[in-house]
């Protein structure tokens, strides 16, 4: 694909942080192009860009999809000693089930088809990281059936279309959130304070404390295709998914096992994985890992410092914009409106400010530094190691967006 041809790519979708292109030479594939933009609090594209973010996210996705596709990786996981806080009987049961045995034989299938340059040529991870030209992640194309918003009885609700069971590949319209604990800033804390019995719903034996790891990972299901992610009961998640009871059970097992796999990968590098999210496709009747995996989908801490999007959220925490954002969402709910963002900008006169230069200088090294550690290679030159980044991140405690 020449540069001229690349400019003729047909845009399938543009989100806050990536563009999705139709693949010119393979009808059932798409090309993901991750940008240096970022998004927090469901706002959409923010006013700054973070250096190397898009390329690092591409590398992250490729590294994890390749790791999880390897049967030997799952065989090692089954033999490994997991963290002491995890319940050994629980792990034994999970590792001995039929889904784990299947992963040990075949690995975990994903929508990932490879990394490509603008000429359509395959790239290794190191070559992709070194490229100064666009790099694309080639993935399976999936049918996306979007819900329709409407108002009834003074409430906004969503009508999901009848599931197209004839589709070869379709998006399961759920975000599956896994949690290994309740770190500071977790949305779970507020839910448990409001309803302590929710701990039992999650399968926890007692009410957790902030900063505490659980004895087993837990799952929560959220909407994927609505304007704001909405927490679902298991019953509603099953109905929205369009899956059979067997497929939904398989989805849950794969999500738990994949979470444990990521936990091991980061633990081996001294990094704590507290929570994260997955997305999946149903491809020819099989559950397939989708989207991407990286610090935008995970909450990672190293020596008390966040190595994920949470460190960006903290910069904006308690700012005038974040306070107005919460107020606008409250007003939108009272008015039965979905456009809380317009209320924030037009009525409350608040939009997200840009980073201060000293803050941006630190955050520009976040994604590349973590990619170096994860890959075991110096993919991004002149980036600090984890300890050096922790030291530089001290300035963020005093420099926020207030």
Model confidence over 37-72: pLDDT tens digits?
999 998 989 999 999 999 999 999 999 999 999 999
pTM: 0.90
Distance in angstroms (rounded) separating the CA atoms of residues 145 and 161 = 7
pLDDT at res. 6: 52
φ/ψ bin of 169: left (φ > 0), alpha (ψ from -120 to 50), beta (otherwise):
beta
How far, in Å, are 19, 177, 199, 210, 216 from residue 202 at the CA level? 35, 12, 5, 16, 10
Structure tokens at 274: 């507290």
Structure tokens at 297: 């989908």
Distance in angstroms (rounded) separating the CA atoms of residues 343 and 184 = 29
Mean local confidence (pLDDT), 356-367: 94
Distance in angstroms (rounded) separating the CA atoms of residues 295 and 216 = 22
User: What's the maximum distance between 2 C-alpha atoms anywhere in the chain?
Assistant: 60
User: Reduced to 3 states, what is the DSSP secondary structure of residue 323?
Assistant: helix
- Residue ranges of domains in the chain: 87-107+145-289
Is it the case that residue 282 has pLDDT exceeding 90? yes
Is it the case that residue 381 has pLDDT exceeding 70? yes
Is it the case that residue 227 has pLDDT exceeding 50? yes
Distance in angstroms (rounded) separating the CA atoms of residues 215 and 199 = 13
Structure tokens at 325: 């954002």
Is it the case that residue 3 has pLDDT exceeding 50? no
pLDDT at res. 399: 57
Mean local confidence (pLDDT), 22-32: 92
How far, in Å, are 166, 331, 336, 344 from residue 339 at the CA level? 34, 10, 9, 9
Mean predicted lDDT score pLDDT of the chain = 92
Percent over 70 (pLDDT), the chain:
97
pLDDT tens figures, 82-109: 888 899 999 999 999 999 999 999 999 9
Mean local confidence (pLDDT), 251-275: 96
Distance in angstroms (rounded) separating the CA atoms of residues 239 and 265 = 33
Percent over 90 (pLDDT), the chain:
81
Mean local confidence (pLDDT), 239-250: 97
Q: Which of 116-125, 255-264, 291-300 has the highest mean pLDDT?
A: 255-264
Is it the case that residue 401 has pLDDT exceeding 60? no
Is it the case that residue 16 has pLDDT exceeding 90? no
Is it the case that residue 81 has pLDDT exceeding 90? no
pLDDT at res. 91: 93
182: pLDDT confidence band, cut at 50, 70 and 90? very high
pLDDT at res. 263: 96
Query: Contact, 140 vs 113, CB < 8 A?
Result: yes
Residue 176: phi and psi, rounded to 5, are -105, 115
Distance in angstroms (rounded) separating the CA atoms of residues 114 and 319 = 41
pLDDT at res. 397: 74
In whole angstroms, what separates CA 187 from the centre of its chain? Answer: 15
pLDDT at res. 402: 52
Is it the case that residue 120 has pLDDT exceeding 80? yes
Distance in angstroms (rounded) separating the CA atoms of residues 332 and 89 = 46
| Architecture label for domain 87-107+145-289 | 2-Layer Sandwich (3.30)
Residue 110 DSSP one-character state: B
pLDDT at res. 4: 38
């Amino acid at each position: 694909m020449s540069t001229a041809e690349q400019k003729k790519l047909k845009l399938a979708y543009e989100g806050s942080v990536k563009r999705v292109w139709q693949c010119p030479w393979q009808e059932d594939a798409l090309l993901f192009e991750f940008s240096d933009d970022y998004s927090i609090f469901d706002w959409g594209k923010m006013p700054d860009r973070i250096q190397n973010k898009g390329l690092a996210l591409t590398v992250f996705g490729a590294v994890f999809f390749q790791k999880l596709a390897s049967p030997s990786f799952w065989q090692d996981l089954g033999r490994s000693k997991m963290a002491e806080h995890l319940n050994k009987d629980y792990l034994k049961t999970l590792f001995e089930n039929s889904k784990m045995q299947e992963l040990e034989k075949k690995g975990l299938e994903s929508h990932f088809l490879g990394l490509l340059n603008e000429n359509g040529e395959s790239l290794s991870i190191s070559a992709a990281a070194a490229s100064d030209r666009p790099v694309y992640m080639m993935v399976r194309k999936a049918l996306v059936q979007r819900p329709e918003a409407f108002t009834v009885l003074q409430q906004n609700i969503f009508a999901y279309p009848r599931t197209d069971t004839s589709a070869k590949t379709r998006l399961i319209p759920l975000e599956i959130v896994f949690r290994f604990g309740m770190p500071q800033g977790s949305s779970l804390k507020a839910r448990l304070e409001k309803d302590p019995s929710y701990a039992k719903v999650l399968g926890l034996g007692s009410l957790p404390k902030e900063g505490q790891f659980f004895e087993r990972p837990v799952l929560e299901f959220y909407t994927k295709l609505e304007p704001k992610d909405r927490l679902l009961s298991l019953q509603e998640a099953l109905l929205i998914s369009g899956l059979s009871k067997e497929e939904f059970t398989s989805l849950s097992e794969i999500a738990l096992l994949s979470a444990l796999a990521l936990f091991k990968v980061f633990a081996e590098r001294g990094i704590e994985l507290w929570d994260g999210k997955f997305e999946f496709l149903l491809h020819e009747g099989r559950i397939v890992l989708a989207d991407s995996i990286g610090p935008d989908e995970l909450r990672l801490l190293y020596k008390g410092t966040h190595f994920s999007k949470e460190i960006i959220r903290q910069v904006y925490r308690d700012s005038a914009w974040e306070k107005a954002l919460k107020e606008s969402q409250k007003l939108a709910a009272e008015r039965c409106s979905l456009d809380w963002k317009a209320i924030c900008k037009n009525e409350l006169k608040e939009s997200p400010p840009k980073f201060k230069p000293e803050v941006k200088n630190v955050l520009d090294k976040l994604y590349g530094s973590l990619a170096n550690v994860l890959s075991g290679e110096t993919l991004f030159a002149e980036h600090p190691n984890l300890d050096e980044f922790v030291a530089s991140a001290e300035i963020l405690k005093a420099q926020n967006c207030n």
